[in-house]
Amino acid sequence: MKVNIIPENCIACGLCYLHAPDVFDYHDNGIVKFNNSDKLEKEYISDDKIISAAKACPTAAIKITKS
């Protein structure tokens, strides 16, 4: 599945990290990024933790496209 993050939607609430700490990380200002990458789009094997993170995000800053 394809995962996109939309930093301009992020309000730095920290919820996505609670669901998938091995996938999401934050810039110094608390805005979401991928762990070990500054890309805005990454491909992952389908993962319930990432799906939970996307559902938990209050501002739809994480989008998943099933491939």
40 touches ligand SF4 (CB under 6 A): no
Q: Which position among 16, 20, 23, 50 is part of the footprint of ligand SF4 (CB under 6 A)?
A: 16
Q: Identify the burial level of 51 via C-beta atoms within 10 angstroms of its C-beta, where 0-12 means exposed, 13-18 middle and 19 or more buried.
A: middle
Whichever of 30 and 43 has its CB closer to ligand SF4, that residue is: 30
What minimum distance in Å lies between the beta carbon of 18 and ligand SF4? 8
What minimum distance in Å lies between the beta carbon of 39 and ligand SF4? 15
